[in-house]
Amino acid sequence: MTATVQTRSNRLPLLGMVALFAAPLAAAFWLYYGTGWRPGGTTNHGTLITPVSELPSLPLPQPARKELDTLFAGKWSLVVVADGRCAEACRNSLVYARQTQLGMGRLGARMQRVLLATGQCCDRVYLAQEHAGLRVTDLTGSDALSASREPLLAAFAGERQDEQIYIVDPLGNLMMRYDTRLNPKGLREDLKKLLDLSHIG
């Protein structure tokens, strides 16, 4: 009798330890599968565009057609949409894009910066001095581009376009937008995840 009581008392701490480790796991399973609750947080900092938006294929004659067809091909693009005179908000966004690409290290070679100029294009001296390597597409520069620009610009949704950076993948899909008033560290983290997971561009 005494031996049985002793055996049971020895098992109690063991059972307590098992319960201590099993209870959180059981509670997690119950929350996830029993109640339908799912974690609400996301790990991205920018605004995901869902579903991913394929940029429109515009019925343009050459060479305007070729210009847009090749604009986003092969690279991850940081796109700024703004008036070509490039006021303060535009300049801030271009600096933001430039510093983001520089801050990506070796991954920066898989990226490009693009300015879609919606009018008054462009302050070429400023752009050449401060933003070497920036690809500038003047959507007012030819009759063909000017007449067909609205479907393209409509794809880049959001208020204050000149305070946004849009991420376009190498296949021409608009994936994310990022408010340039936010900490640039978040954009770099999002881009690093995208480029690490992607085998294109």
- Structural domain boundaries in the chain: 1-41, 47-197
- The per-residue pLDDT for 25 is 58
Mean pLDDT of the chain: 77
Q: What is the mean pLDDT of residues 29-48?
A: 57
Strand partners, 80: 115
Between CA 91 and CA 107 the distance in angstroms is: 23
Q: What is the mean pLDDT of residues 31-44?
A: 52
- Sequence length of the chain is 201
Q: Is 47-197 a CATH 3.40.30.10 domain?
A: yes
How does residue 63 score in pLDDT terms, banded at 50, 70 and 90? low
38 has a pLDDT exceeding 50: no
The token pair at 7 is: 């055996």
> What is the per-residue pLDDT across 117-164, written as a single tens digit (0 to 9) for each?
888 888 888 899 999 999 888 877 655 555 567 777 778 866 778 899
Q: Three-state SS across 30-70? A: HHHHHCCCCCCCCCCCCEEEEEEEECCCCCCCCCHHHHHHH
Residue entry with tokens 């610009």:
153
Q: What is the mean pLDDT of residues 61-90?
A: 79
Whole-prediction pTM: 0.72
- Which segment of 35-44, 92-101, 150-159, 190-199 scores lowest on mean pLDDT? 35-44
- The per-residue pLDDT for 30 is 56
Residue entry with tokens 């983001």:
100
Q: What is the mean pLDDT of residues 163-178?
A: 90
How does residue 51 score in pLDDT terms, banded at 50, 70 and 90? confident
Q: Is 6 exposed, middle or buried (0-12, 13-18, 19+ CB in 10 A)?
A: exposed
- Which segment of 70-74, 82-86, 138-142 scores lowest on mean pLDDT? 138-142
What's phi and psi for 74, nearest 5 deg?
85, -10
Find the radius of gyration of the CA atoms of the chain: 26
How does residue 77 score in pLDDT terms, banded at 50, 70 and 90? very high
Between CA 169 and CA 113 the distance in angstroms is: 12
Between CA 70 and CA 146 the distance in angstroms is: 18
